[in-house]
Structure 1
Amino acid sequence: MTTNTIDVVSYCRVSSTGQGESGLGLEAQREYIARAAQQNGWNIVGEFVDVVSGKLAIEDRPEGAKALALCKQTKAKLVVAKLDRLSRSVHHIARLLDEAMDFKVATMPQADKFQLHLFAALAEQERTFIANRTKEALAALQKRADEGDVQSVEKIARRTAALELGRNDANRAKGNVAIQERAKLWLKSVRPHITECLHDNGSTLQQVADCLNGKGITTSRGGKWSSMQVKRVMENLALTFPSKQAAL
């Protein structure tokens, strides 16, 4: 029989309305908390769920503020499934710890204040690394798109559409259709110009690029053509030189 039962307030957070409505991630959080409560003798006196970004401090979230208020009222400890559900900012975590705000993390129930601070710092550092790698990957993707790679253009457009429309399945499907149609229309529009350039002294990729630039035909992003851009678009259009293989 447990003799040191403590009262806790369960707090869960998901980042989007879609996640909140579908329960994606929410049930897993509840399960983590329920299991930890059973194993550690915690008595759950309330539950609060926010659908907000982790960038907001918990006291600035509608349900987070209520959870903190209940903790103060009942002398209970706040409990979250994982540390990033409380906050993605090491500054927010540190401030809560400095203000003697006791909280528990279901996935590491025995962690003390020093360990929680350390885990928060490591998590923030990892997010910084991921953000930097993402920026580098997007820059490389943009470079390929600027060189005329249609697949890269589609990927960028798909990412933009997802941000503008939201990430539910219906909107992703609409965005994909729009992107594919846009790419097809652009390829269709540029095909006759490349074909004409191929038959007008276009014996190298650079000559075709010069021909297109001379006609005022721009790339998919409105820029000047290079030999690499011509190569990639010709591959997408399955176009070849009339006679011998072109060279860069």
Structure 2
Amino acid sequence: MTNTTTHTIDVVSYCRVSSQGQGESGLGLEAQREYIARAAQQNGWNIVAEFVDVVSGKLAIEDRPEGKKALSACKKVKAQLVVAKLDRLSRSVHHIARLMEQIEFKVATMSHAKTFELHLFAALAEQERTFIATRTKEALAALQARADGGDVQSVEKIARRTAALEKGRTAPNRAKAGEAIRERVYRWQESVRDPIDLCIHKGGRTLKQVADCLNSKGVTTSRGGEWSSIQVSRVMKSLGLQFPLKQIDL
């Protein structure tokens, strides 16, 4: 008879949302906690503490209020840090590479990934964000139509609504207004990224299934309505989210 012993790893859970609105509503935070809880159950991790930051991903984790506490807790109890997704840890390859030299960490959605693989994923994600930023600046109108999934006013409606104001605006002020619109689109995109990704992760394999999942979780469109398949399709395309490839038996 063989005696098998399972080694339990202590982990410190760390979640991050980008805005106070997300923190209060739970958008993003709920999804992150579920990712981590599932990964812990599947891999035998023992969650000994949880820390949550409401802060931009541009800051290194050691410069975030709760992130600093999370790192300290890991060192104190000799645990590994765990995040739901790599971008919750940082959006900077430099930050992630530096953290790898200080502490061991795991990513719930890539629980078996090695250090080299995590570094590679971070580099690819940073490159993709650069491409997205470039496309955003070059095609604001198209981005709004895709990102909002037809839920917010089209650029034409926004233009009509603000036409009177635009007459008295200088070029710098118009640039600032355009930047404000881009920021609003970006924030809305990020607020629904995790819920959509989680619906896919939980088995949603059609646009309708994802829409039904979002509606059942109380996640609304940018105008506060229910999701349709078309809206899900447009937002997934804008965010670069895809359904898992189907396995083909050879």
Q: TM-score, normalised by structure 1?
A: 0.58
1:35 alignment partner in structure 2: 38
Where do residues 68-147 of structure 1 align in structure 2 (5 Å cutoff)? 68-99=71-102, 101-138=103-140
Post-superposition offset of 1:162: 8.3
Task: Tell me what 1:22 maps to.
Answer: 25
Alignment of 1:1-248 (within 5 A): 3-99=6-102, 101-138=103-140, 151=157, 153=159, 160=180
TM-aligned CA distance change 1:152 to 1:49, over 3 Å: same
Looking at structure 1, the residues matched to 22 and 142 of structure 2 have their Cα atoms a distance apart, in angstroms, of 31
Question: 1:153 deviation in Å?
Answer: 2.8
Q: Deviations over 1:27-62 (max 9, x none)?
A: 110000001001111000000000000000000000
**RMSD of aligned alpha carbons:** 2.9
CA separation of 1:112 and 1:162: change in aligned 2, threshold 3 A: closer
The question of whether the paired residues in 1 share the 8 Å contact of 2:83 and 2:107 is answered with yes
Matched residue type, 1:13: R
Q: CA deviation at 1:138?
A: 3.0
Q: Does structure 1 retain, via aligned residues, the 8 Å contact 2:96–2:119?
A: yes
Partner amino acid, structure 2, of 1:133:
R
- What residue number does 1:241 align with? none
Letter aligned with residue 129 of structure 1:
F
Q: Partners of 2:90 and 2:121 in 1: how far apart?
A: 12
Contact 1:9 1:44 in 2 (8 A): yes
Alignment CA distance shift 1:140-1:32 (3 Å)? closer
Higher mean Cα deviation, 90-99 or 24-33? 90-99
CA deviations on 1:117-165 (whole Å, 9 max, x unpaired) are: 0000000000001001001113999xxxxxxx9546358858736859x
* CA deviation profile, 1:163-222 (whole Å, cap 9, x unmatched): 59x979xxx98xxxxxxxxxxxxxxxxxxxxxxxxxxxxxxxxxxxxxxxxxxxxxxxxx
**3-state DSSP class of the match of 2:130?**
helix
Corresponding residue number in structure 2 for 1:204: none
AA in 2 matched with 1:77: Q
Q: CA separation in 1, counterparts of 2:39 and 2:158?
A: 45
Change in Cα spacing, 1:72 to 1:151, as seen in structure 2 (3 Å) is: same
Per-residue deviation, residues 55-109 of structure 1 (Å, max 9, x unmatched): 000000000000000000000000000000000001101111133x100000011
Q: Which has the higher contact order (CA 8 A, sep 6+)?
A: 2
Quick one: structure 1 residues 2 and 56, their matched pair in 2 at CA, closer, same or farther if it must change by over 3 Å?
Answer: farther
* Identity over aligned pairs, percent: 75
**CA shift in 2, pair 1:113/1:163, >3 Å:** closer
Given that 1:2 and 1:41 are in contact with CA atoms closer than 8 Å, whether structure 2 keeps it comes out as no
- Figure out how many residues of one structure are paired with residues of the other and give that number: 161
Q: Distance in 1 between matches of 2:79 and 2:85?
A: 18
Cα distance change of structure 1 residues 139 and 38 upon mapping to structure 2, 3 Å threshold: closer
What is the TM-score of this pair, normalised by structure 2?
0.58
Going from structure 1 to structure 2, the CA distance change for 1:161 and 1:84 (only over 3 Å counts) comes to closer
Q: Distance in 2 between matches of 1:62 and 1:31?
A: 23
Residues 87 and 72 (structure 1 numbering): CA distance in 2 closer, same or farther, change over 3 Å?
same
Give the C-alpha shift of residue 3 in structure 1. 1.7
